[in-house]
Amino acid sequence: MIATLEAIYVFAMGACFGSFLNVCIDRWPEGLSVVKPRSRCPKCGHQIKATENIPIVSWLLLRGRCSGCRERISIQYPIVELLVGLLWLAAFLQFGMLFTAFRVAVFATVLLGISITDAKHFLIPDGFTVFGLFFVLLTSFVALYLGQSEPFAGPWDAFIGMCVGAGAISIVGWLGEVWLKRPAMGFGDVTLMAVVGAAVGPTRALLTIFIAAILAPIVLLGVVYPLSARGLADDKGQTELALEASGGWRKRELPFGVFLAPAALIALLCGDAIIAWYLRFSGL
């Protein structure tokens, strides 16, 4: 367990990373730099002052509006800051003030960024995946030196996992394309699975795809389609038409990264237990 002061510090650190994650989510899909220029209000051009840039707190003090023109500031900002703060806190509560907690926290932050960007823009920016890949691979050597590899894969398994993850998702995408007779998956999913495979190793990389394949239809059929259909079906009462018109996720490539990202975190934290349970259950 960690002390209260450490917990507050870790949460605040996470919230700051969440603030930076917001910038990445907004700018990378547009091909913009995340370093400069400083953030401005998209409507009036008011430059966000340092005091207006405190994670969560500033949004609450400004009551979600720009101090220049009173334009609404998206609730995405404080929510992501809060989520990342909580992710970091959870990681350090689970693993203690150790290098492993830092790795889990950063990895989970990158996965959250990928999930949101893929859901909003149907793409996975290289900024996330290139950083993620180098972070996971380089820290695997540090972790090995510190004797803290678990629950991540060691350097050798990380390398094999990277290749297996990218290869396996490519095969899934290829067969999906043959079956659906249209592009089924973007290349971003391949880059994401390279990162995931490097983090969790080959076996749990395959498990990640399996978990995502279970998550995706449950979330799509259980949450996304009913929600998007309801608004339209109220007018015409034609559910089929509404589903067709809900567009977005239906007509385009499935943003599979939205599901691969949380699946990867599950595989990292509980993958070994799930595989052990499955082997016992199936008698293999």
CA angle (226 as vertex; 225, 228 as ends), nearest 5: 65
Q: Which is nearer to Zn ion, 71 or 150 (CB)?
A: 71
DSSP annotation of 152: S
For residues 48 and 220, which CB has a smaller minimum distance to Zn ion in the complex? 48
Closest by CA to 128, choosing from 117, 114, 145, is: 114
Shortest gap between Cβ of 26 and Zn ion (angstroms)? Answer: 15
Shortest CA distance to 202 belongs to which of 155, 243, 164? 164
Q: Evaluate whether 158 touches 140 at the Cβ level (below 8 Å).
A: yes
Tell me, rounded to whole angstroms, the distance of Cα 219 from its chain centroid: 16
Q: How far apart are CB 78 and Zn ion at their closest, in Å?
A: 17
Q: Cβ closer to Zn ion: 69 or 180?
A: 69
CB of 148 to Zn ion, least distance (A): 46
Q: Which is nearer to Zn ion, 34 or 48 (CB)?
A: 48
**Cβ atoms within 10 A of the Cβ of 26, count?**
19
Q: How far is the CB of 179 from Zn ion (least distance, A)?
A: 48
CB of 22 to Zn ion, least distance (A): 17
DSSP for 221-239, written as a single string: IIIIHHHHHHHHHHHH--H
Q: Which is nearer to Zn ion, 44 or 138 (CB)?
A: 44
Binding residues for Zn ion (CB under 5 A): 41, 43-44, 46, 66, 68-69, 71
Give whichever of 72 and 236 is closer to Zn ion, judged by the CB atom: 72
Q: How far is the CB of 43 from Zn ion (least distance, A)?
A: 5
For residues 101 and 254, give the distance between their C-alpha atoms in angstroms, rounded to a whole number. Answer: 32
Minimal CA–CA distance to 188: which of 128, 123, 133, 130? 123
